[in-house]
Structure 1
Amino acid sequence: MLHLVTQASKYLMILLFMVYTFECFHVFRFENRPKRQMAIYSRQRGIMYFIHFDAFLVIYLNTQNVQVIGFYLMQLILFIGIQLVYHLFYKKASELLLNNMLMLLAISLVILTRISFDKALKQFLIMIVSTVLSLLIPIILQKMTSFRRFTWAYALVGIAALSVVLVAGAVSYGAKLSISIAGISIQPSEFVKILYVFFIASMLYQATDMKQLLITSVIAAVHVLILVASKDLGSALLYFVTYLVMIYVATRRLAYFAGGLAACSLAAVAGYKLFSHVRVRVLAWKDPLSMIDKEGYQISQSLFAIGTGGWFGMGLCQGLPNKIPVVAQDFIFSAISEELGGIFALCLIMVCVSCFFMFLNIAMQMKDQFYKLVALGLGTVYAFQVFLTIGGVTKFIPSTGVTLPLVSYGGSSLLSTMILFGIIQGLYIMKSQQAIQPVTKNAEQKAKAKKPAKKKGEEKINGSKKTKAAAKVKVKDLSK
């Protein structure tokens, strides 16, 4: 009986997630019909809550752990609370981004609970803190207008934070990634990438001449080189690609983009020659099965998991995700593919793509060049990080050790991504207000234009009355 319930719920979740993913793109057909859009968003929320309930019901039936029920209820309260705050205080926020964020968080907690209840509980506690901070960001963006003035503050703080990791960071899988503060491990590169985007946007907002581009490139190179020295090559690649995209969009010069790609290729060859762990990852990527007992074990287990799951998956609690090393952080996509299936995993990718499309849409519609570049830079960070993660676990590219935003286990990654979504929501609200302001200004101008016309008409009428009265007086005088 339990097996039948698990299998039935698996197919139901796949079907519902397919509908949800379709609605992510179908909603754009009704841009001029807000009521129809709101109906779609409400349907998406219903699907998200049902998938969340169904998954935790299956986990409870398979584990018989009563704590799972209480954990599910706490998550439900958090998700409903987030929606209520947005609907009360941020009525102009993007409903699609809000729904996608909650869906990705729900999937994360489902698969983490399946892998390790303790890790899922820690992730949930960090999620609460991240939610509080991210909900304040749209207000801060509306109240403060001086973000473009902190150009060198962004650079100094970012370089200092990365330098601390280079000097005193803990080594993890051959790279210095994090520092420990009061027993809490923090990965500064996750937060510095946001400051990095703000720095580049501020510089390019001021000017795009050769001198400004040279200064921007030097400071960006300092960030990247520190990451390379720390052997955090995944983050270094992420930073470099973000810089390249922002430079190209700001200048619209293809030569800069082509030159950047050439430099990236040379840097990749140099990294392969200089760092042994890079050579190991490349060899494991080329032929993981030939070294399955050593360097190729992780990627081989990832491919076995994805292949075993097939299109429809084995069902929650039916696979062996813990056989993949570091599955909760770097290879969580493989665990999702194994137990929920390839179709579910493809839908997950498409939800991430719909988030990226929203980032680009906001960037294109922003009138302020600074915020336009910020939205573009953050969108590039998000999309390329998703690409690096999924590309690594599917053997499309060598593994880079980058987490899947909002889904993978990791406090720094979760907090930085929720801050990123908070910034994008703030920019979306700002864009909506900019769209309303021209309409109100035009209405005011028309009203002002009408008032003088009325006054002129009244003056004519009054003038005619006065001339008639004067004529009567003259007639009386003549009669006298």
Structure 2
Amino acid sequence: MINVIVELSKYLILVLMILYTLQCFNMFRIKDAQDRRHLLAKQVMLMFFMDLTAFTVIYLNTLDFRVIQYYLAITVFFAVLQILYRLLYKKASLLLINNMCMLLSVGFIILCRLDMTKAVRQFVIVAAGSAIALIVPILIRKMRFLRKLTWVYAGIGIFLLGVVLVMGMTTYGAKLSIMGVQPSEIVKITFVFFLAALLQKDTSFKNVVIATVIAGAHVLILVLSRDLGSALVFFVGYLVMVYVATKNPGYLGLGLLGGSVASVAAYYLFGHVRQRVVAWKDPMSVYDQEGYQIVQSLFAIGTGGWFGMGLCQGASKGVLPVVEEDFVFAAICEELGILFAICLILVCMSFFLMVVNISLQIKNNFYKLIALGLGTEYAFQVFLTIGGATKFIPMTGITLPLVSYGGSSAMSTIIMLAIIQGLYILREDEDEEIEEKRQKRQPQAGRFPTERESRISRYPRYPG
């Protein structure tokens, strides 16, 4: 009987995920506010129904009462989070909140199935991070002096990365953390703030050189710590922000050339980089060593097929090392199917498109660059994780944001999204101000409009 329930549940979970994903993209074309609210509410119900189905299956397979307790805890958490954002921030983007909750939900499901202890620890960190993140939009809205702290951001970033280089714990050949905390996740945010503050007004060659030197210092420290995945995320974030700020394709070309040269140099300088490249090119040739993880990841993805084996039916838990962190995507493919994994990628993509849309509509250059920089870091981290697990690129050891196990990653991603939420609210404030000015420009009733008023009504000007 349990086998029948597991078999049916995987199709039900897939259908719910497909419906949720379709509505993510429907939101971009629907303009009516009432219809949008209806779709957003439907997304929440789909997510709750998916959680109920998944945790029921996990409980029936394990008969562990902690699964029920865990399910009740995350259900209350998601409900409270949805309610608080609606009460505290009337102008908040509910699609951002829904997508964050859905990705967290997928992570909670797969972590609960793989390792209950890690799942509980992840939930506690996510709950704490969400509580902190609730005040971030207010800070973004009120603390206008943030754009003036250029060198404070640079100093914090270099100092934290330097401490890790000197005192950090070595994990899988790289210095990543101090006392279980990974400072590079925090520095991702300060790094974006530094570049945005530096380039918001002055994009002269001198300022671009300064930005390049400081960004290079961040990346160099990460390379020396052998945290090459984070170094790539920082580099791509820098490249995109400089290009958008200057609109000069020459800087983009030089950056790509420099990145290519640095990659070749890293290959010859670091033995573990060469090992990962060999494992990427032909993992079977080094199956007993570096290629083992890649081969097992591909086996898991292939075994799952389009529809997956069903929750608790896969073998990733006992076969794939660090499956909860680096290879969680393979575990999702094995048990929930490739179609479910594609939907997960599309949800991440809609996340990024939403951030780009917010960035394009913000008038203030500082906030525009922050939104674009944070969104780029998020999207590239997703690319590195999934690309490594599927052998599309060499493995970098980066976690899948909000899904993989990793307290520092989850905390920083939640705060990043809260910052973007604050920027979205700022954009809504800007739209309100524009509308108010437009209404003031309307001619008063009972008199003919002047020539200037007629011209403004035909060709409204928007503040820069």
Identify whether the pair has TM-score above 0.5, normalized to the shorter chain.
Answer: yes
- The one-letter code matched in structure 1 to 2:87 is L
One-letter amino acid of the counterpart of residue 283, structure 1: V
**Partner deviation per Cα, 1:329-361 (whole Å, 9 max, x = no partner):** 110000000000000000000000000000100
1:378 and 2:374 correspond: yes
Question: How far 1:170 moved relative to its partner?
Answer: 0.4
List 4+ stretches of structure 1 deviating above 3 A.
444-447, 449-453
- Aligned-residue sequence identity (percent) comes to 54
TM-aligned CA deviation for residue 154 of structure 1: 0.1
User: Structure 2 CA distance, aligned partners of 1:390 and 1:46?
Assistant: 28
Aligned equivalents of 2:232, 2:101: Cα separation in 1: 28
| 1:84 alignment partner AA | I
Distance 1:300 1:339 in 2: 17
Matches within 5 A, 1:59-458: 59-180=58-179, 185-322=180-317, 323-446=319-442
1:34 correspondence with 2:33: yes
- In the alignment, which residue of structure 2 is the partner of 1:7? 7
Deviations 1:244-287 (A, max 9, x none): 01111111111111111111111011101011111111110001
Secondary structure at the counterpart of residue 193 of structure 1: helix
Q: Distance in 2 between matches of 1:78 and 1:153?
A: 35
Q: Which amino acid aligns with 1:316?
A: L
Q: CA deviation at 1:444?
A: 3.5
Aligned to 1:477: none
User: How far 1:14 moved relative to its partner?
Assistant: 0.4
- Greater Rg, structure 1 or structure 2? 1
Structure 1, gaps ≥5 residues long? 454-480
Structure 2 CA distance for partners of 1:451 and 1:187, relative to 1, 3 Å: farther
Quote the Cα distance in structure 1 between the aligned partners of 2:82 and 2:114: 27
Equivalent position SS for 2:134: helix
Q: SS in structure 1 opposite 2:324? A: coil
Shift of 1:445: 4.5
CA separation in 2, counterparts of 1:391 and 1:101?
A: 21
The reply on whether 1:24 has 2:24 as its aligned counterpart is yes
The amino acid of 2:307's aligned partner reads F
**Aligned counterparts of 1:442 and 1:351: Cα–Cα separation in 2:** 36
For the residues of structure 1 that align with 2:426 and 2:386, how far apart are their CA atoms?
32
For residues 128-166 of structure 1, give each alpha carbon's deviation from its aligned partner in whole angstroms, at most 9, with x where no partner exists.
110111111001111111110000000000000000000
> 1:442 deviation in Å?
2.7
Amino acid in the other structure paired with 2:21: T
Query: How many Å separate the matches in 1 of 2:43 and 2:382?
Result: 22
Q: Distance in 1 between matches of 2:212 and 2:27?
A: 39
CA distance in 1, matches of 2:28, 2:123: 32
- The alignment partner of 1:330 has SS state of coil
Provide the rounded CA distance (Å) in 2 between the counterparts of 1:67 and 1:16: 25
Report how far residue 295 of structure 1 moved.
Answer: 1.2
**Equivalent-residue separation in structure 2 for 1:227 and 1:112 (angstroms):** 28
Q: How many angstroms apart in 1 are the aligned matches of 2:376 and 2:442?
A: 42
Q: Structure 1 residue 16: deviation in Å?
A: 1.1
How far apart are the structure 1 equivalents of 2:211 and 2:27? 39
Q: Deviations over 1:217-269 (max 9, x none)?
A: 11111001000111111111110111001111111111111111111111011
SS at match of 1:29: coil
In structure 2, how many angstroms separate the alpha carbons of the residues matched to 1:38 and 1:269? 50
* Contact in 1 for aligned 2:201/2:365 (Cα 8 Å): no
Q: Distance in 1 between matches of 2:321 and 2:112?
A: 17
SS in 1 for 2:170: strand
- Aligned-pair Cα RMSD in Å: 1.3
Q: CA deviation at 1:435?
A: 0.5
- Give the AA of the match of 2:135: L
- The secondary structure found in structure 1 opposite 2:200 is helix
**What is the identity, as a one-letter code, of the residue corresponding to 2:298?**
L
Contact preservation (8 Å) 2:169, 2:177: yes
**C-alpha distance in 1 between matches for 2:238 and 2:71:** 40
Residue 443 of structure 1 and its aligned partner are, at CA, apart by 2.4
User: What is the distance in 1 between the residues matched to 2:384 and 2:166?
Assistant: 26
Whole-angstrom distance in 2 between the partners of 1:116 and 1:241? 33
> TM-score by structure 2 length?
0.95
Query: Aligned partners of 1:102 and 1:420: how far apart in 2?
Result: 14
